[in-house]
Amino acid sequence: MKSKFNEYVYKFRQMNRNISPIAKYVYGGLIILIFIALFKKVILNPGIIIMIIAMYFAIVLHEVAHGYVAFLNGDPTAKIFGRLTLNPVKHIDPIGITIPMILIFMGSPFVIGWAKPVPINYSMLKNKKIGLFTVAIAGVTVNFINVIISTLILKIFFSQQVIYSIYISLMQGMSINIFNIQNGLALFFIYFIFINMALGIFNLIPIPPLDGSRILEVFVNKKGKQLLNSMEKYGMIILVVLLYLNVIQMIIEPIFNFFLKIIFSIL
């Protein structure tokens, strides 16, 4: 078991080293250009900074949850690679960080992103079926817990007037004074609700490498598992195409709005 685990660790490290230096420079240049383009938007609407912070915590906590539950189930891979941390450098995924920045730059009302998947060696899990299910569902569970906690914080510590004025300003695309501590904090928790809910629903879509495919894998037969595994190499391309065609937005939006109505009826 130990030699098999060491082989897995070696392969993972080699995979990270095989990224072309040219690809790294091209990606770095692209990120710099996007940051420059976003700078003007941030000046005009400083609330974007709050959104980026909220998105960071939502995405990273999602991935750390996967790694931590895998660790509890007997797989120390995420811990060995230093992924049980809030350090953003450890979690950055090139496509997952580029797409949300492009969507923000384009002024899209729907912004989604993701982190680099936490390395998990499923052969190390103590109970394969229960282990796979709990690891797969850990991320979205944390997202929905974040939604509940943020809703309670807004309900207890902020007035309806503050919450609704910020929400209306967001819907109308108006700038919000984030340097007012009350406004800044309320905006953070509202964004945190939006992003965690969208991220949770998004990850339940059963297309690899999203969590929904891992959850589905527990319940399908051998042919179903083979189909999901065969989709793995094309999954990211499928997702990018569906995002471009607004199909993902059409799936998420009605579910998102349904739960948002429930949340605002509580507030």
Q: Are 195 and 141 in contact (CB under 8 A)?
A: no
pTM recorded for the entire structure: 0.81
Query: Average pLDDT of 177-206?
Result: 92
Question: Highest mean pLDDT range out of 84-93, 143-152, 174-183?
Answer: 143-152
Residue 211 pLDDT greater than 60, yes or no: yes
Domain residue limits at 262: 2-266
Listed range (35-49, 66-80, 172-186, 250-264) with the worst mean pLDDT: 35-49
Mean pLDDT score of the chain: 82
Residues 6+ apart with CB under 8 A from 142: 61, 62, 65
Domain tally for the chain? 1
Residue 184 pLDDT greater than 50, yes or no: yes
pLDDT per residue over 70-129, tens digit each? 999 999 999 998 888 888 778 877 777 667 767 766 666 666 677 788 888 888 888 888
Residue 257 pLDDT greater than 80, yes or no: yes
